[in-house]
Amino acid sequence: MRRPDENQSTDDPASDERRNDVEELARNTLERAAADRAAFLEAACPDDPGLRDKARELVQAYERTGPSRRTVLSRPPFAPPPAVKVGPGDALGPFLLLDRIGEGAMAAVYRASHQDAGAVVAVKVAQRGLVAGHQRLFQVEAQILRLLDHPNVLRFVDDGTLDDGRPYIVAEYVDGLPIDQFCDRWELGLDRRLDLFRQACAAVEHVHRHGVVHRDVKPRNLLVTRGGVAKLVDFGIALPLAGGSAASGPPTERPMTPQYASPEQVRGGEITARSDVYSLGVVLYKLLTGRLPHGDAEAVLGPREMARLFDGGRPRRPSEAAASEDMRRRLAGGLDEVVLRALAERPEERQVSAEALAAEIRAAADRRTL
């Protein structure tokens, strides 16, 4: 084992935490069959290649030398409680799982019903083998949801822990479409699109007033129900704001959706409420033009590519990017300026809050109808 550098602190909590994450991920990987280990590593930390590569090195060393190697992996690679089977037909407390409606590296989500009350809910279950950092995010999500109570925000119902230690969260089941798909499917006009967007702003403002930044405001996390109510969902990477901001961390350790993330998120700066205002601006640009302000490759561009796009300056005015002549005419002027202000590269040049953004939209729309 490499000796620590004499000039390097050996009691840095962040370093210890990072090392623990690497070792834990390596141990979880070694629980899998040899043929499944590479795929598990890729799925376990898609946004943290540094963690994945260090864990892979430990796994490969263990595979070469076995338990004779004197490392933390010399011990049997975990003796966890037996895995709990979770799937449709299983019960978690009073909730009966009906079907799986989503799955990612950190969690699987099920539609479920309360066996006594009959209410339909969504149950989010942590994947087995999460590293410590992801487990903490899961716990923070439950804590944040307990704080929130707003008609446009996902409602918390319950939480718990499986016998194998995995946490789960029970929340309101939102049967809806992403806000951009809802608007397009029903061919909504400008005024109705702006009404729905103001609901999104109200949801984000409520979150901010409880000292939380969402960090992942995007159409997929703004669902619109059949009754036309927008709901902000998925607080999986939300964070409490300490002193009005939160550190975003190095590129390999900050989860985000790059195409909707603010420049400071992508570049590793301080995250504030105005970071979510920027993301709202991207959503609004998409609702008004059908495009993203910095390119349309939603599933392709990563943080580095997005940082280069930000360097290209301000996006086109929405009135220039809109598809129809009528929409271009209606956006020109006031609404153009509101959207571009939300998309300002410097946080201090954006609207001070989601509430202020909604107020500017209403004022611009009112002036247009005079």
- Residues 124-149 have pLDDT tens digits of 999 887 766 677 788 899 999 999 99
* pLDDT confidence bin for 260, thresholds 50/70/90: very high
Query: Residue 170's closest CA among 239, 106, 116, 92?
Result: 92
Q: Cα(first)–Cα(last) distance of the chain, in Å?
A: 74
Examine the pLDDT at 186 and tell me if it is beyond 90.
Answer: yes
Query: Residue 173's closest CA among 97, 238, 90, 255?
Result: 97
Examine the pLDDT at 184 and tell me if it is beyond 80.
Answer: yes
Structure tokens at 45: 């930390």
Interatomic CA distance for residues 58 and 55, integer angstroms:
5
Query: Averaging pLDDT over each range in 6-10, 293-297, 300-304, which range is the top one?
Result: 293-297
Examine the pLDDT at 227 and tell me if it is beyond 50.
Answer: yes
Q: pLDDT (tens digit, 9 = 90+) per residue, 69-92? A: 445 454 554 455 677 889 999 999
Where does residue 223 rank: exposed (0-12), middle (13-18), buried (19+ CB within 10 A)? buried
Query: Residue 232's closest CA among 283, 191, 186?
Result: 283
* pLDDT confidence bin for 48, thresholds 50/70/90: confident
Strands (E), the chain: 91-92, 95-103, 107-114, 120-126, 156-161, 167-172, 176-178, 212-213, 222-225, 230-232, 239-240, 246-247, 270-271
Interatomic CA distance for residues 288 and 318, integer angstroms:
7
Q: Catalytic residue at 191?
A: no
Residue 68 has a pLDDT of 46
Examine the pLDDT at 313 and tell me if it is beyond 60.
Answer: yes
DSSP state of 177: E
Residue 251 has a pLDDT of 43
DSSP code string of 77-128 = S--PPPPPP-STT-EETTEEEEEEEEE-SSEEEEEEEETTT--EEEEEEEPT
Interatomic CA distance for residues 122 and 333, integer angstroms:
43
Domains and CATH numbers, the chain: 13-73 (no CATH), 91-172 (3.30.200.20), 176-369 (1.10.510.10)
216, 234, 276, 336: which one is catalytic? 216
Residue 96 has a pLDDT of 96
* pLDDT confidence bin for 296, thresholds 50/70/90: low
User: What is the mean pLDDT of the segment spanning 295-316?
Assistant: 67
Pick the residue with more confidence: 189 or 57?
Answer: 189
Q: pLDDT (tens digit, 9 = 90+) per residue, 276-291? A: 999 999 999 999 999 9
DSSP code string of 240-255 = EPBTTBEE---GGG--
Residue 46 has a pLDDT of 65
Residue 130 has a pLDDT of 72
